Amino acid sequence: MVSKIISFSILTLIVSIVLINYFSRVKPNHPLADLNVQEIIQEYNYPVEVHNVVTEDGYILTLHRIPHGRGNLSRKRKPILLLHGLLQSAWDFVHLGPNQSLAFVLSEEGYDVWLGSVRGTTWSRNHTNLDPDKDAAFWNYTIHELGVYDLPAFVDYVLEKTEQKSIHYLGYSQGTIAFFIMGSEKTDYLSKIKFMAAFSPAFFLKDPISPIVKFLANNWRSLQGLLNFFNYRELFGRGDLFSSYMKFVCHDENSVLINLCIHTHFSIFGYSYDELNKSMLPLTAANTPCGVSLKQFVHVFQIADSGDFHRYDFGTEGNLEKYGQEQPPHYDVSRVTTPVAIYYSSNDWAVNINNMDRVLKTVPNVVKSYKVPLEDFNHLDFLYAKHVGDLLFNVLLDDLSKY
> Among the options 68, 95, 127, 379, which is catalytic?
379
If residue 298 lies in a helix (H) or strand (E), which one and from where to where? Answer: helix 294-306
Residue 173 designated active-site: yes
Find the angle CA(157)-CA(159)-CA(164) to the nearest 5 degrees: 165
Confidence of residue 217 (pLDDT cuts 50, 70, 90): very high
Amino acid 178: pLDDT: 98
CA distance 2 to 9: 11
- What does R_g of the chain's alpha carbons equal in angstroms? 20
Average pLDDT of the residues in 4-14: 42
Contact 372, 200 (CB under 8 A): no
The mean of the pLDDT values for the chain is 92
Amino acid 19: pLDDT: 47
Count other Cβ atoms within 10 Å, centred on residue 383. Answer: 24
Average pLDDT of the residues in 152-172: 97
Amino acid 3: pLDDT: 47
Average pLDDT of the residues in 373-384: 98
Residue 207 designated active-site: no
* pLDDT beyond 80 at 173: yes
| Alpha-carbon distances, residue 331 vs 31, 158, 181, 365 (angstroms) | 44, 25, 7, 16
CA distance 202 to 378: 14
So where are the chain's domains? 29-401
Query: What backbone phi and psi angles, to 5 degrees, belong to 79?
Result: -75, 140
Residue 251 designated active-site: no
* pLDDT beyond 70 at 24: no
> Among the options 150, 305, 313, 348, which is catalytic?
348
CATH number assigned to the domain covering 29-401: 3.40.50.1820
> Among the options 89, 107, 124, 173, which is catalytic?
173
List pLDDT tens digits, range 294-318.
Answer: 999 999 999 999 999 999 999 999 9
Average pLDDT of the residues in 184-193: 98
List pLDDT tens digits, range 219-266.
Answer: 999 989 988 887 889 999 887 888 888 999 999 999 999 999 999 999
CA distance 64 to 50: 5
What is the pTM for the complete model shown?
A: 0.93
Q: Which residues lie below 8 Å from residue 73, measured CB to CB, with a gap of 6+?
A: none
Contact 171, 179 (CB under 8 A): yes
